Chain A
Amino acid sequence: MANGATTAAATPPVVKPKVSGEDWIMRAVLMGIGLYLTVSILLPLYAILSKSFKNADGVYIGLSNYAKFFSTPALFWSIQNSLTVTLICCVIVVTLAFIYAYALTRTSMPFKGLFKGVALLPILMPSLLPAIALVYLFGHQGIFKSWLMGHELYGPIGIVMGECFYVFPHVLTILLIAMANSDARLYEASDALGASKIKTFFTVTLPSVRYGLVSAFFVCFTLVITDFGVPKVVGGKYNVLATDIYKQVVGRQDFEMGAVVSMILLLPALFAFAADRIVQRRQVALLSARAVPFEPKKDRVVDYGMLAFCSLIGVILVSVLTMAAFASYATFWPYNLTLSLKHYAFDMMDGGGWDSYYNSIELAAWTAVIGTAMVFTGAYLVEKSKGFKTGRAAMQLLCMVPMAVPGLVLGLAYVFFFNAPGNPLGFLYHTMPILVICTVTHFYTVSHLTAITALKQLDAEFESVSQSLKVPFYKTFFRITVPVCMPAILDISMYLFVNAMTTVSAVVFLYSPDTALASIAILNMDDAGDVAPAAAMGMMIVGTAAAVRLVHAVLSRGILARTQAWRKR
């Protein structure tokens, strides 16, 4: 522009919108939650990172710890071991879950509801439990030991079997969502053009779920490589990164090496997380508002073939759980199989007794209540507040961080951060609150995304209307936003509760004798050779998680039917 100078001089003053009291409240709360996440994830991550560059005396020694790691074969072979079992699991689980999801969404197979329910069973248990069941099935005194044809359960075979069981529902859920978004018009077009079923599968079905497949692969990868429960029980001498962290810290008290292994475990998890986010962003554009839902047609061969396949998977899933249950009731495996409740007398064993179970309930309840309130409020402010763009974008980014951090890394990071001399928050160490903080943060991202999705479905102008009516935002939040989003809020609280019950990884470094948890008790009893009581405690968690799911279902149907009367026409 030739007359840029005069234009600039003539530019009228920019209007600075007045920031109202309400805006300040919103910003303050948002900053509060941002501060919480900073303290509960960013600072601990920094603590563990810097620890990996220091020696036991806290002196900075550069990359020496890393050099030691890579010059010790016993340590760096774990990387290869971890990657091997993880990739094998990914191939097996994604393939099986894909066929299973296909059967549930694209065929007229009978008993779909039942199969869907059965497939979600593993969600109710800590990953330690299927591993314990595997010991009873294929271990030294296992019923089906001969099926392994002389191979040893303890090692890669056991890890792969256990992990496949543990991650199956998670992978299946992703694939079910990806496959639910199918457009019947594409199938009709393919049919009309005379394409064969096989060709339709490869030209229509597969491309439409490719992002879901990639996403499922990455989720599977992250879950397996960061899982600690399965390799802890059936890993034997086969070292993987997750168990190495535990061994370095708990076994050898080598915190610095624990920090190094944590950093190395963080890398693949970070990579998988980043790749998954990129893929998910692309997926959005794929959905068309005018898509017609696909209605599968009857086809005896396919339907019964799928029924056979799903039954097989279903039987495997149920038998693992049944085995765990039976193991917990059998008086003295395998010599005396009369049923008794002997192994449920937890107070007679090490590991924390019944108190650990009650502690778990307490932790889960606090996590569900505090976590849901915080996550939903935070998501609301990120999504619905005005102005303050940088703050909101930073917050959104911060909410994504927990997903990328494996539980073990988070837990160890808390040790370094909260236990550091001079940290004013040190009083939290070895208390119930730190377990709650850690668990809320560990499962923050998925809850946050659930809340954001629900909030995005609300009319964007609710806030504008209430402002014009001079109703403060918090009144509208409690009278409109919360009731309308109640289904999502219940989902989030159930998710947090169940995960708090089953999690082992993050809290394993953080409990104290007074705050032992049920999932930790399983670990410790199994370590001490009390495998049956460990299975019994696992069954307590399964029972509790199932009961909570049931309550959730009743709430969703019952109370929601009343408060959500407006949903009906």
Chain B
Amino acid sequence: MNGNDKAGYLKVRDVIKKFGEFTALKGVSLDVGEGEFVCFLGPSGCGKTTLLRAIAGLDIQTSGSVEQAGRDISTLPPNERDFGIVFQSYALFPNLTVKKNIAYGLENRKMPKAEIQTKVFDLLALVGLTEHGDKYPSQLSGGQQQRVALARALATSPGLLLLDEPLSALDAKVRVHLRHEIKMLQEKIGVTTIMVTHDQEEALAMADRIVVMNHGVIEQVGTPEEIYADPATPFVADFIGTTNFIDGEVQAGGQVRVAGLTLDCGPAVDGMAPGDKVTVCIRPEDVQINEAAGEGVPGGIAVKVTDVEFLGSFHRCHVKPMNGNGAVNGLEFMVDLSANRARALGIREGMDIHASLPAELVRVYRSTASV
């Protein structure tokens, strides 16, 4: 065969993209396996769309290579590559009906008319638009238009499906519904898929693997669980979910000194020497709360609740650590409590409680890495 292995269906190597003086991608390398659903996630301007467009050949990289199914496609124009694409605007042809839109790529392949019809019919059924085939795009809702764009991209059975922020033009409810549908569809037909998004929730819900990007570099690649539970950098910890950041200094014995308190961080500080400046991170929902001080939970600290935000299914409490003579200067962090737990504790502003930061859930980063 042609050296096509499942693990490396798409191989991106050292891709650099410059727009004049500005470097949008600073040497990106990445492997995508066959049938995988990968999300490029990052804030706007991080280079995720640039990377997607380089893979598509729409804006070819300044240097570096792209290989798909064992074929070097680095220099090829889009029409010599093998992909289907859905844009944020959908780019549906306004003067063609839904059916004609979907058939657009097929009609050019000298496929018999009957075969095209069957294929279009199947695709319409696949995206649940059977009865809308003869309408024009402007007569459809945003979600329906998005599905037409998807069907059109899949019509030619491409080896790679590229989705450029496909959901961000839709309203919230439709978005949640469609992301589930797209995921099911992708699993059903098994097409290798790359989706660009700035919405972390979307990425967590849909992707097999997430590529977190920032300032033109990849910060971390991993499954949604890995990215969330074990962020490789403070940026990832901050961008995905919510995290408390606390500056500190490593001490002997796996401990970190933070503004007058000593936290037990266990294996998280392995490989760091005492005196290293670090940033301690813990997610608000990982902080454990006990009713009152004095229960003697190891690693626990006495805190005062300064503010409680009601956020529907949970409460976010802002707390300040206390010592003998009042609040510890400049230190405050967030604690998330489920509605049940908050009710059981009777949480309210001004309350004195006891918080503990479980060592296995605390992450410590060297301070050089800025957020």
Contact = CB atoms under 8 A, between A and B. Distances in A.
Interface of A: 11-20, 22-23, 459, 461-462, 464-472, 475, 479-480, 483-484, 563-569
Nearest to B60: A17
A17 B156 contact: no
A468 B95 contact: no
Given A12-B14, A20-B80, A569-B138, A462 B93 contact: yes
A470 B156 contact: yes
Nearest to A23: B77
Interface in B77-115: 77-81, 83-85, 87, 89, 91, 93-96, 104-105, 108-109
A465 B110 CA distance: 19
A390 to B, nearest CB: 15
A418 to B, nearest CB: 41
B75 A17 contact: yes
Given A461-B91, A470-B108, 13 more contacts: A11-B63, A12-B16, A15-B60, A18-B75, A461-B89, A464-B85, A464-B87, A467-B57, A467-B78, A471-B104, A472-B79, A566-B138, A569-B138
19 contacts: A15-B74, A17-B75, A18-B75, A18-B76, A18-B80, A19-B77, A22-B77, A459-B89, A461-B89, A462-B93, A468-B79, A468-B84, A468-B158, A471-B104, A563-B95, A566-B96, A566-B137, A567-B94, A569-B138
A464 B91 contact: yes
Contact of A13 (B63, B91, B96, B109): B63
Contacts of B108: 469-472, 475
Give the residue among A15, A464, A471 with the most B Cβ atoms within 10 A. Answer: A15
Nearest to B94: A566
Interface string B46-72: 000000000011101111110000000
Nearest to B84: A468
B152 A15 contact: no
Q: Which 10 A-B pairs have the closest CB atoms?
A: A469-B105, A566-B136, A461-B91, A467-B78, A12-B63, A17-B60, A20-B77, A18-B75, A459-B91, A467-B79
Given A468-B85, A471-B104, A471-B108, A565 B75 contact: no
Contacts of A471: 104-105, 108
A15 B64 CA distance: 7
Contacts of B96: 479-480, 566
Contacts of B139: 569
Contacts of A468: 56, 78-79, 81, 83-85, 105, 153, 158
Contacts of B152: 465, 469
B87 to A, nearest CB: 5
Contacts of B91: 459, 461-462, 464-465
A567 B85 CA distance: 25
Contact of A461 (B16, B60, B76, B87): B87
A475 B62 CA distance: 30
A119 B57 CA distance: 52
B155 to A, nearest CB: 8
Given A17-B60, A563-B95, A566-B136, A466 B104 contact: yes
Contacts of A13: 63
Given A464-B85, A564-B95, A566-B94, A15 B138 contact: no
A414 B83 CA distance: 52
Nearest to B106: A469
A453 to B, nearest CB: 17
- Chain B, interface residues (CB within 8 Å), range: 35 or more
A19 to B, nearest CB: 8
Given A17-B75, A18-B76, A564-B95, A469 B137 contact: no
Interface in B10-27: 14, 16
B102 to A, nearest CB: 10
Contacts of B75: 15-18
Nearest to B109: A470
Contacts of A20: 77, 79-80
A465 B94 CA distance: 13
Interface of B: 14, 16, 56-58, 60-65, 74-81, 83-85, 87, 89, 91, 93-96, 104-105, 108-109, 136-139, 152-153, 155-156, 158
A479 B105 CA distance: 13
Contacts of B77: 17-20, 22-23, 467
A392 to B, nearest CB: 16
Given A563-B95, A569-B139, A470 B62 contact: no
Nearest to B59: A386
B236 to A, nearest CB: 27
A470 B106 CA distance: 9
A461 B74 CA distance: 21
A14 B85 contact: no
A466 B109 CA distance: 13
A213 B80 CA distance: 51
A455 to B, nearest CB: 14
A459 B95 CA distance: 13
Contacts of A467: 57-58, 77-79
Given A471-B105, A566-B95, A566-B138, A464 B56 contact: yes
A363 to B, nearest CB: 33
Contact of A480 (B57, B95, B138, B158): B95
Contacts of B138: 566-569
Contacts of B78: 464, 467-468
Contact of B61 (A15, A470, A480, A568): A15
Give the residue among B74, B78, B138 with the most A Cβ atoms within 10 A. Answer: B78
A489 to B, nearest CB: 13
Nearest to A16: B75
B217 to A, nearest CB: 16
Contacts of B63: 11-15
Contacts of A22: 77, 79
A480 B83 contact: no
Contact of B95 (A11, A461, A469, A484): A484
Contacts of B84: 468-469
Nearest to B77: A20
A347 B56 CA distance: 66
Contacts of A466: 104
Nearest to A467: B78
A12 B78 CA distance: 23
A18 B77 CA distance: 6
Contacts of B16: 12
B64 to A, nearest CB: 7
A12 B25 CA distance: 14
Contacts of B105: 468-471
A201 to B, nearest CB: 40
A342 B108 CA distance: 61
Contacts of A465: 85, 87, 91, 152
Give the residue among A20, A469, A568 with the most B Cβ atoms within 10 A. Answer: A469
A15 B77 CA distance: 12
A468 B108 CA distance: 12
A567 B95 CA distance: 8
A71 to B, nearest CB: 53
A164 to B, nearest CB: 43
A130 B46 CA distance: 63
A460 to B, nearest CB: 8
Contacts of B137: 566
B120 to A, nearest CB: 14
Contact of B156 (A18, A459, A469, A479): A469
A522 to B, nearest CB: 43
B263 to A, nearest CB: 40
A380 to B, nearest CB: 16
Contacts of A14: 62-63
A390 B70 CA distance: 35
A484 B91 CA distance: 13
A20 B73 CA distance: 13
A553 to B, nearest CB: 21
B333 to A, nearest CB: 39
A280 B304 CA distance: 62
A12 B28 CA distance: 13
